[in-house]
Amino acid sequence: MSKQILSIVEGDSAGTSSSILKLKNMLSELNTQDISEMFDELDRENIVKLFRILPKAVAADVFAHIDSDHQQIIVDALSDIEIGEIMGELFVDDAVDFIEEMPASVVKRVLMTVPAEKRTLINQILQYPEDSAGSIMTTEYVDLREDATVREAFEDIRNTGVTKETIYNCYVIRRDRLLVGVVSAKTLMLSKPREKIGDIMDTNIVFAHTTDDREVIADKFRKYSLLAMPVVDLEQRLVGIITVDDIMQVMVEESTEDMEIMGALTPSDDPYLKTGIFRLAKNRVLWLLVLMLSATITGSIISSFEDGLAVLPALIAFIPMLMGTGGNAGAQSSTLIIRGIAVGEISLKDVLRVVWKEIRVGAVCGLSLGIINFLRVYIMGERNPFLILTVTLALFCTIIIAKTIGGFLPILAKKVKIDPAIMAAPVITTAVDATSLMVYFSIAKVLFRL
Amino acid sequence: MSKQILSIVEGDSAGTSSSILKLKNMLSELNTQDISEMFDELDRENIVKLFRILPKAVAADVFAHIDSDHQQIIVDALSDIEIGEIMGELFVDDAVDFIEEMPASVVKRVLMTVPAEKRTLINQILQYPEDSAGSIMTTEYVDLREDATVREAFEDIRNTGVTKETIYNCYVIRRDRLLVGVVSAKTLMLSKPREKIGDIMDTNIVFAHTTDDREVIADKFRKYSLLAMPVVDLEQRLVGIITVDDIMQVMVEESTEDMEIMGALTPSDDPYLKTGIFRLAKNRVLWLLVLMLSATITGSIISSFEDGLAVLPALIAFIPMLMGTGGNAGAQSSTLIIRGIAVGEISLKDVLRVVWKEIRVGAVCGLSLGIINFLRVYIMGERNPFLILTVTLALFCTIIIAKTIGGFLPILAKKVKIDPAIMAAPVITTAVDATSLMVYFSIAKVLFRL
């Protein structure tokens, strides 16, 4: 269906009234999201053409879903009146998302088309810190009074519900917008028409403050299986709500951020394919630099053992295997602990349990790998018992140390209020590299009396 | 509040009727989720004690939320009749989750208490493959007929809604349970009582098949901002629904799985602190082994250059820096590409764009790090121009190669239908280690005529 529409839009006859009618019919059968995706396939001119064909009812919704590049193309082509119509239809949170991506000149022009009241709301939300509850909330919600009846509530919803982002949770407020309860549409539907909202509302409200971090809010949504959450200011006055669809977006973005930090990247929201070379390089070079300079410590450990290596050059060949295995063993532990902290399974008080666990897991892994490595070295023809013993012992100790470091550092980071995700593979690898070499060379020194 | 309750439950006077009344009052003010968490703090005996005090209305809901260890303790202490009451209240998906974690003897006893009809449903869902739509769906949904009126639909919901997992999406079916449309509670509330469901329903349905992968379903929930999704069998007959609260759980579990695979772990759902040493070791040892044996290739490259290193031992000290930086540079790229594939931003057709991008980003990073490393080496007193040139050139080439490999391998994995997450730091590091050494030694051979 999408392909057919695209070919008509891009064709020569796109302007004729019969093809427009045909397009409108086809578009009406498609989902907003599917229509939005078609814009990715079109050039500048056809983007505007397709957008103008959209039925009024879906145009604003589609606009909220398309890329900011495409939003700008459309805004540049529309008249102020047309922009005003779209802005009037957009939910406040979608309007804010759109405005945040626009250059200053476009923002000015767009805000001019918005009625003063909505403009104030938008400006307010724009001022909340990034990643805070305030910055992702919307202001279109249903509010009710305690002394209203269920029947009145239904009337209220029928009259205003179509412009609300959700009607499935209604918020009960007193004068001064003080939040006192929440009542779900389910409760309303299962209650008698004459019952009072104050009697059926739930006063045990899970809410957020405007400055709460969005990751914490996402955890609460998951924990309490919420569809929406009210946001209040410091005086407990209702200022907005957050809906679960935005939270799913937050969950994906937060996981991406964690993975990027764990991969030694400066996290960024920009989609990879649309980000320029220098921007991508900038997000990578800082950590590479830090880790490169740390790795020179490892180099100087090797240098300090140069004489020993000159006497016994066979030791050199095992260095990559030891460093690599140590790094991977530590990375495994840190991955589990970082994730455990992120999903709330592991907290600061578990530090001793984690370390003790990692020491024992390290011993089991070290023993298994030690035996297999011993066999491999022997089968490949190495017969010097001291060399085999040195490598096997060093491997065993390295794995235990790596696992202990990998388990401990993320918790330490949490303790000193750094993001534990920083203590992932790259940092652990660098830390373990130096340690494993020191262990290796120390054992060699003792066994070979170097 | 929770602490107060816990201290009463654990106290001596917990059995007296006055303290039970007090507890019931306090519990009635708490959220199901908060009550569930209290069970983590109690011992065997008090777990049963607290559970028995819970009001009937919340007991089943709490039961669905607590740890499987605690579920078993409770089931062991209850009579068959009591178990039957809980099972009767549980949603089918929660019942399935519970039964999946129980040992066979408990499963048998529990299923005996369930009416035949529900037992058949539970057994059916238990048979769907793990991670499929069928295995996470529930069967408590509202279904409507096309010829019903809005008024009749409301009556239907009022009569049966309290036992449904969601009433916010109602599914319109024909005879034989053929799914033909969906109508939201919002649409119902905004429609006139006499309108026919068939006229107001949405026929453009986003649905899943029972065998669809849950990760794909989670993506659809996010893309289309869904609260629930119908699940149909091969004949398009409605068999269940999936709700957004379960999908939030899936999203977290899928991210955890990706991170574990990226950290060279065999993924596992078991919470870290409750998993035994040998189980943890088992999830780690396989990958460690594979990577350890691969690392011996790197070792043999060093061995083959032993004569060169004997002549110029200063080369050895730079090996960790080169291998480390190469590994990290490659890990950065693979992290971005793996995540890009997972969230649908990068697909197979982008392979050339990705590789070309990574080559250029690698050049920028390689140049920056090369210059800084040059300065560092010079400042630290190294004056052999050939050595400095060898290290700088090798670093530059290693970073470009590492970034290209890191960008390419995840897409290749996707192409041959392996999980791209496997191509993360550990694998890339091992692959890049060998490459960087070969580059380093080749340059050294040419420049020093070794």
Q: Does the distance separating the beta carbons of A309 and B336 come in below 8 Å? A: no
Q: Does the distance separating the beta carbons of B185 and A185 come in below 8 Å? A: yes
Section A106-118 average pLDDT: 87
Chain A residues with beta carbon closer than 8 angstroms to that of B328: 264, 287-288, 291, 426, 429
- HEC letters along B316-375: HHHHHHHHHHHHHHHHHHHHHHHHHHHCCCCCHHHHHHHHHHHHHHHHHHHHHHHHHHHH
Q: What is the pLDDT of residues B116-154, one digit of tens each?
A: 888 888 888 888 988 899 999 998 999 999 999 999 999
Residues 87-146 of A with CB under 8 A from B: none
Section A344-372 average pLDDT: 95
Q: What is the pLDDT of residues A16-50, one digit of tens each?
A: 777 888 888 888 888 888 888 888 888 888 898 88
Residue A341 clears pLDDT 80, i.e. is over it: yes
Q: What is the pLDDT of residues A143-178, one digit of tens each?
A: 999 999 999 999 999 888 888 889 999 999 998 899
pLDDT category of residue A272 using cuts at 50, 70 and 90 = very high
Q: What is the pLDDT of residues B273-302, one digit of tens each?
A: 989 999 999 999 999 999 999 988 899 999
Q: What is the pLDDT of residue A117?
A: 84
Residue B57 clears pLDDT 80, i.e. is over it: no
Q: What is the pLDDT of residues A355-365, one digit of tens each?
A: 999 999 999 99
HSE-CB at A183 with a 13 A cutoff on CA atoms is 26
Reading phi first (left if > 0) and then psi (alpha if -120 to 50, else beta), residue B109 is in: alpha
Judged on CB neighbours under 10 Å (0-12, 13-18, 19+), A383 is exposed
Give the nearest partner residue to A328 out of B288, B296, B339, using CB atoms: B288
| Of the candidates A238, A259, A221, the residue with the CA atom closest to the CA atom of residue A424 | A259
Closest Cα in chain A, distance from residue B239 (Å): 23
Residue A281 clears pLDDT 90, i.e. is over it: yes
Give the nearest partner residue to A161 out of B189, B298, B376, using CB atoms: B189
Q: Please report where in the chains the tokens 């996470």 appear, as a residue.
A: B136
**Which residue in chain A is spatially nearest to B304 when comparing CA positions?**
A317
Q: Which of B269, B316, B338 is most worth mutating to test chain A (most A CB atoms within 10 A of its CB)?
A: B316
Q: What is the pLDDT of residues B145-189, one digit of tens each?
A: 999 999 999 999 988 888 888 999 999 999 889 999 999 999 999
Section B229-241 average pLDDT: 93
Residue A15 clears pLDDT 70, i.e. is over it: no
**Which residue in chain B is spatially nearest to A407 when comparing CA positions?**
B272
Q: What is the pLDDT of residues B61-110, one digit of tens each?
A: 899 999 888 999 998 998 888 888 888 888 888 888 898 888 888 888 88
Residues 286-315 of B with CB under 8 A from A: 287-289, 291-293, 295-296, 298-300, 302-303, 306, 309-310, 313-314
Give the nearest partner residue to B369 out of A292, A298, A350, using CB atoms: A292
Section B392-415 average pLDDT: 96
Residues 225-264 of A with CB under 8 A from B: 225-227, 244-245, 247-249, 251-252, 255-256, 258-260, 262-264
Q: Does the distance separating the beta carbons of A425 and B263 come in below 8 Å? A: yes
Q: What is the pLDDT of residue A248?
A: 95
pLDDT category of residue A93 using cuts at 50, 70 and 90 = confident
pLDDT category of residue B2 using cuts at 50, 70 and 90 = confident
Q: What is the pLDDT of residue B13?
A: 65
Q: What is the pLDDT of residue A161?
A: 83
Q: Which of B28, B29, B61, B259 is most worth mutating to test chain A (most A CB atoms within 10 A of its CB)?
A: B259
Residues 6 or more apart whose Cβ sits within 8 Å of residue A385: none
Q: Which of A44-58, A334-348, A366-380, B402-416 is the least confident region?
A: A44-58
**For chain A, what is the mean pLDDT?**
91
Q: What is the pLDDT of residue A13?
A: 65
Q: Does the distance separating the beta carbons of A323 and B260 come in below 8 Å? A: no
Rounded to an integer, what distance in angstroms lies between the CA atom of residue A31 and that of residue A163?
19
Residue A229 clears pLDDT 90, i.e. is over it: yes
Residues 136-195 of B with CB under 8 A from A: 154, 157-158, 161-162, 167-168, 185-186, 189-190
Q: What is the pLDDT of residue A32?
A: 86
Residues 51-70 of A with CB under 8 A from B: none
Greatest Cα pair distance in chain B: 95
- Please provide the distance, in angstroms rounded to a whole number, between the alpha carbons at the two ends of chain B: 76
pLDDT category of residue B198 using cuts at 50, 70 and 90 = very high
- The single-letter DSSP state of residue A129 is P
Q: What is the pLDDT of residues B3-22, one digit of tens each?
A: 788 888 787 666 677 788 88
Sign of CA dihedral B223, B226, B228, B234: negative
Q: What is the pLDDT of residue B89?
A: 87
